[in-house]
């Protein structure tokens, strides 16, 4: 969850590390801290709150100059976000400094034992125990890397650890278990981070570390071993976007920039998927056509916004491939003893590829013998590496915590997977698949059209800034869109918001309708699903008769809803299954504008972080 940066080279380490933290602040912003090795000592500073607080402290008291350093932005797990609990943490002697992403599950036992042996721990964190364990191991280990390996063998849980030691001032040592860590390879300098965004301004050559590995980083080299000191394999790759892709580009917020990038992101995700003969291709496919023809059930696992993409995937997969499909919240999946076997295909959806609940669901499915396919945005991340196949979404870096372009590209990806399965299983002919691909190819222009006409969305959002509650209704694929709209409002505006299947209104939710309550309704096409359209028009009449303020999202040419809409938001007409690609966009703008009207930071909503790498 937290942002971590390490640097070894010739530049001032503090500048490199703080710049990297600024690019990673979306991963955690409860507190921030840095440590620099200089003159045989560790000089450090840390502050609760956002990175700006740390910057102010560094202006007041600059750190000593050095070319080796580590830095951290925190999303609190153990201990409140205070100066004392901020990272880095030092050992008793002040010679070892540690930063940490993840949760050390056995820290209470480790801490008690350390205190019994005379160590004085100052914070409430699980991280500080590691600094003191390294202190104990150093005399026999003979170096920080071996000490780190010995300590890691004692730890339980998920963690990325970075450490520096005054006894070896030319190195940063790091370890990884169930938490992201990547090396950036430069010329006479090397970097460590939880995300390539931290060092993309300096190098695009990266190394993704594997599970249970330790890396020793020096200015001209790095060495990777497992936790027992054996040489370990790792994955080298080149990042295909540059630093400008992670900057705001003139927008007030990253979220606004990422909403505007959605037409291009959708186009990029489609690029190169269909051959001249109409056949589809995924990125890395280690499942044969025969394997996929043996599949008799599909289970989708995901969390948060990705789970809404999974719900829409269920409609597409069952419609196009005729395979039964279940959508499961990854956080609940392995705890309910799911029925899986070799004929089950588990599809894991995660923007970062490091979502811990989803990663654990993948591992549980693998233990049960299921086949695994991932949909992910980050090349080389944990989830795709542990699956049999992957389709990368090519959304580029998504910095704002609330997902926008990642969601739309996940939708494109699940449509492609559904069509791929239909193709392999012979359920659809090539010309039928080509026709759908052509419809998808038209979607970037359709999304662009929505973005050009969303000013009414902004106006109505600003008018609702004093409201306490907004409800969302949808049918068919509009139901997950309603859930996504409600989630965005919760995340950004801190308002009570609920999404409902419109057909469930009379089964309870209609009791919430009272005079003036805003209700956003996602209306299905009158052409593709006329029965559903008629029913949702009846739903709109029901809530309006009870005093609701109706905000209706309907396609161009749908005149049946006009007289029942207090505010009408038009979207382009598209095939029913593809409508979420355009109907979601106004809801993103709605949530962003309403949150801004309330004075909230839409890029960094309270209590949330971009990549949830703890359970």
Taking only the tens place, the pLDDT of each residue in 173-213 is 999 998 889 999 999 999 999 888 899 999 999 998 989 99
Q: What is the pLDDT of residue 615?
A: 58
Q: What is the pLDDT of residues 39-64, one digit of tens each?
A: 899 999 999 998 999 999 999 999 99
155 closest CA partner among 136, 133, 185, 124? 133
Contact between 15 and 67 under an 8 Å Cβ cutoff? The reply is no
One-letter-per-residue 3-state SS of 41-99 = EEEEEEEECCHHHHHHHHHHCCCCCCCEEEEEEECCCCCCCCCCCCCCEECCCCCEEEE
Average pLDDT score over residue span 78-84: 88
For residues 492-497, average pLDDT? 94
Q: Please report where in the chains the tokens 């060495």 appear, as a residue.
A: 223
Share of the chain above pLDDT 70, in %: 97
The C-alpha atoms of residue 535 and residue 230 are separated, in whole angstroms, by: 64
Report the pLDDT averaged over residues 323-345.
93
What pLDDT is stored for residue 83 in this prediction?
Answer: 95
* pLDDT at res. 1: 60
Mean pLDDT of 289-313: 96
Q: How far apart are CA 214 and CA 174, in angstroms?
A: 6
pLDDT at 242: 74
**Range from 27-31, 365-369, 466-470 carrying the lowest mean pLDDT:** 27-31
The mean of the pLDDT values for the chain is 92
Fold exhibited by the domain 254-441: Rossmann fold (3.40.50)
78 vs 245, residue with greater confidence = 78
**3-246 shares its CATH topology with 254-441:** no
According to the CATH classification, is domain 3-246 in 3.40.50.2000? no
State pLDDT tens for residues 211-223: 999 999 999 999 9
Residues catalogued as catalytic: 2, 610
Query: Token pair for residue 310?
Result: 């999974």
Q: Is the pLDDT of residue 99 over 70?
A: yes
pLDDT score of 614: 53
Q: Are 172 and 166 in contact (CB under 8 A)?
A: no
pLDDT digits (tens, 9 = 90+) for 121-180: 999 999 999 999 999 999 999 999 999 999 999 999 889 999 999 999 999 999 999 888
Query: Looking up tokens 């300590």, which residue turns up?
Result: 151
Summarize the confidence of residues 477-497 as an average pLDDT: 96
pLDDT at 612: 65
Tell me: pLDDT of 611 over 70: no
pLDDT at 38 over 60: yes
Cα gap 127→111, rounded to integer Å? 10
pLDDT at 613 over 80: no
**Candidates 3.40.640.10, 1.10.150.20, 3.20.20.120, 3.40.50.10490; correct CATH number of 451-597?**
3.40.50.10490
Label residue 449 exposed, middle or buried (CB < 10 Å: 0-12, 13-18, 19+).
middle
pLDDT (average), residues 500-528: 89
Q: List the domain boundaries for the chain.
A: 3-246, 254-441, 451-597
Give the per-residue pLDDT at 153: 97
Q: For position 239, what pLDDT does the model report?
A: 86
Q: Is 499 exposed, middle or buried (0-12, 13-18, 19+ CB in 10 A)?
A: buried
Burial 516-542 (b: 16+ CB within 10 A, else e): ebbbbbbbbbbebbeebbeebbebbee
> Which pLDDT belongs to residue 301?
97
Distance of CA 559 to the CA centre of its chain: 39
DSSP conformation letters of 171-196: -EEEEEESS--EEEE-SS-EEEESSG
- How many CA atoms are closer than 13 Å to the CA of 123, on its beta-carbon side? 28
Q: Is pLDDT of 485 > 60?
A: yes
Residue 247 predicted with pLDDT over 90: no
Q: Rounded mean pLDDT of 2-23?
A: 95
pLDDT higher at 278 or 563: 563
What pLDDT sits at residue 346? Answer: 97
**Could you give the percent of the chain with pLDDT greater than 90?**
73
Q: Which of 139-153, 178-192, 483-497, 595-609 bottoms out in mean pLDDT, i.e. has the lowest?
A: 595-609
512 versus 347: the higher-pLDDT residue is 347
Whole-model pTM above 0.85?
Answer: no
pLDDT at 380 over 90: no
């Amino acid at each position: 969850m937290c942002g971590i940066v390490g640097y070894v080279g010739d530049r001032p380490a503090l500048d490199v590390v703080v710049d990297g933290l600024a690019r990673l602040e979306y991963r955690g912003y409860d507190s921030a801290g840095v440590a620099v090795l200089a003159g045989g000592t560790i000089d450090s500073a840390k502050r609760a709150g956002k990175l700006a607080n740390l910057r102010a402290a560094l202006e007041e008291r600059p750190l000593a100059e050095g070319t080796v350093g580590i830095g951290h932005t925190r999303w609190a797990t153990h201990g409140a976000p205070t100066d004392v609990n901020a990272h880095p943490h030092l050992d008793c002697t002040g010679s070892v400094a540690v930063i940490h992403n993840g949760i050390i599950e056995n820290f209470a036992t480790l801490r008690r034992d350390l205190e019994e042996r005379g160590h004085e721990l100052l914070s409430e964190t699980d991280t500080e125990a590691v600094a003191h364990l390294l202190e104990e191991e150093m005399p026999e280990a003979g170096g920080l890397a071996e000490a780190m390996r010995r300590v890691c063998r004692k730890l339980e849980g998920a963690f990325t650890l970075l450490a520096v030691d005054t006894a070896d001032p030319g190195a940063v040592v790091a370890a990884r278990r169930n938490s992201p860590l990547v090396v950036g390879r430069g010329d006479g300098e090397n970097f460590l981070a939880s995300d390539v965004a931290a060092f993309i301004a300096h190098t695009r050559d990266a190394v993704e570390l594997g599970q249970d590995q330790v890396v020793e980083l020096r200015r001209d080299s790095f060495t990777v071993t497992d936790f027992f000191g054996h040489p370990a394999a790792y994955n080298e790759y080149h990042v295909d976007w540059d630093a400008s892709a992670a900057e705001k580009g003139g927008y007030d917020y990253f979220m606004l920039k990422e909403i505007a990038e959605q037409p291009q992101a959708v186009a990029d995700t489609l690029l190169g998927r269909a051959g001249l003969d109409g056949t589809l291709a995924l990125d890395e496919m280690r499942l044969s056509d025969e394997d996929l023809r043996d599949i008799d059930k599909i289970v989708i696992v995901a969390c948060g916004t990705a789970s809404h993409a999974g719900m829409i995937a269920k409609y597409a997969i069952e419609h196009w491939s005729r395979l039964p499909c279940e959508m499961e919240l990854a956080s609940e999946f392995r705890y309910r003893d799911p029925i899986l076997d070799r004929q089950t295909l588990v599809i894991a959806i995660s923007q970062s590829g490091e979502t811990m609940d989803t990663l654990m669901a993948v591992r549980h499915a693998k233990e049960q013998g299921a086949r695994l396919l991932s949909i992910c945005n980050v090349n080389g991340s944990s989830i795709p590496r542990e699956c049999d196949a992957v389709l990368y979404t090519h959304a580029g870096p998504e910095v704002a915590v609330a997902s926008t372009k990642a969601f739309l590209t996940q939708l494109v990806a699940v449509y492609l997977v559904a069509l791929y399965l239909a193709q392999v299983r012979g359920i659809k002919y090539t010309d039928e698949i080509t026709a759908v691909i052509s419809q998808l190819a038209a979607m970037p222009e359709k999304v662009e059209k929505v973005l050009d006409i969303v000013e009414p969305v902004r106006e109505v959002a600003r008018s609702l800034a004093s409201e306490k509650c907004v409800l969302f209704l949808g049918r068919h694929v509009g139901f997950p869109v309603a859930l996504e709209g409600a989630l965005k409002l919760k995340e950004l505006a801190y308002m009570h918001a609920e999404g409902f299947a419109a057909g469930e209104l009379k089964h309870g939710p209609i009791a919430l309708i009272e005079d003036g309550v805003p209700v956003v309704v996602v209306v299905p096409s009158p052409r593709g699903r006329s029965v559903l359209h008629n029913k949702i028009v009846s739903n709109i009449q029901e809530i309006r008769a009870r005093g609701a303020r109706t905000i209706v999202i309907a396609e161009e040419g749908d005149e049946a809803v006009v007289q029942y809409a207090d505010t009408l938001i038009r979207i382009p007409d598209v095939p029913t299954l593809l409508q979420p690609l355009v109907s979601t966009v106004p809801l993103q703008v709605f949530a962003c504008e309403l949150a801004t009207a309330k004075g909230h930071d839409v890029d960094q909503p309270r209590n949330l972080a971009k990549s949830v790498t703890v359970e």
